[in-house]
Amino acid sequence: MRKKLYKLRFELFFLSLMAILFSSLFFPTSFYIDQALPVLFIVNVIVGLVIFLHDKERSWITVGLLILVVGAYVFRLISAHNNTLDYIRFSAFFVFYIIITLEVVKQVWKAKTVDKSVIFGLMSGYICLGLLAFFAFVSIEMTSPNSFKGLPLDATFPQKASHLLYYSYVTLMTIGYGDITPTTGTAQKASI
């Protein structure tokens, strides 16, 4: 079972990333942001564990991050809204995507043959780069509000984050529509 899962690691990870990026098309916005997205991110971390099946040390780090994220999510469900829990969860996901991106790139780089799995690994790595940019942009917006022009002024933080996810991929693909632009030096440097 472990061998079969490991063989399909990139395909499974890619599917979980696609669910994060595109399931908003099938759910109402508030449900997607408040309920579906946190669960999809947790599923993505669980699937990410498969990528580390042959690396026990990083596997344990990922399990620790998963426990932290699930604990913060469950505690948030049973208690009043607490920004500290959101920051803990956000930080855990940021660390996870740094680790998983490096691991995916390493495994793809070391592949002896290019097959379907490696192609899924390449696409997963690309999507992870976009997620890293997203977490960087959200971190900048959290520490220095209004670092990006074009975000709705009256939007909640999750809505702003949704716009920054869009911005991260538009920037990564070098489309750059210009509807969201960095205004601070830090945001401009991160956008490069």
Q: Which of 125, 41, 52, 46 is nearest to 90 (CA)?
A: 41
Segments of the chain with pLDDT less than 70: 80-82
Identify the pLDDT of residue 159. 81
Q: Which of 68, 73, 66 is nearest to 50 (CA)?
A: 66
The answer to whether residue 167 is domain-embedded is no
The reply to whether the predicted model has a pTM over 0.75 is yes
Could you tell me where the DSSP H helices lie in the chain? 2-7, 9-22, 29-31, 37-51, 56-78, 83-109, 116-143, 157-172, 185-191
The answer to whether residue 73 is domain-embedded is yes
CB atoms within 10 A of CB 79: 9
The answer to whether residue 183 is domain-embedded is no
Domain that holds residue 48: 2-144
Alpha carbon distance 18, 22 (integer Å): 6
Q: Across-strand partners of 148?
A: 182
The answer to whether residue 96 is domain-embedded is yes
Q: Count how many domains the chain has.
A: 1
Identify the pLDDT of residue 25. 93
The answer to whether residue 106 is domain-embedded is yes
The answer to whether residue 159 is domain-embedded is no
Alpha carbon distance 86, 83 (integer Å): 5
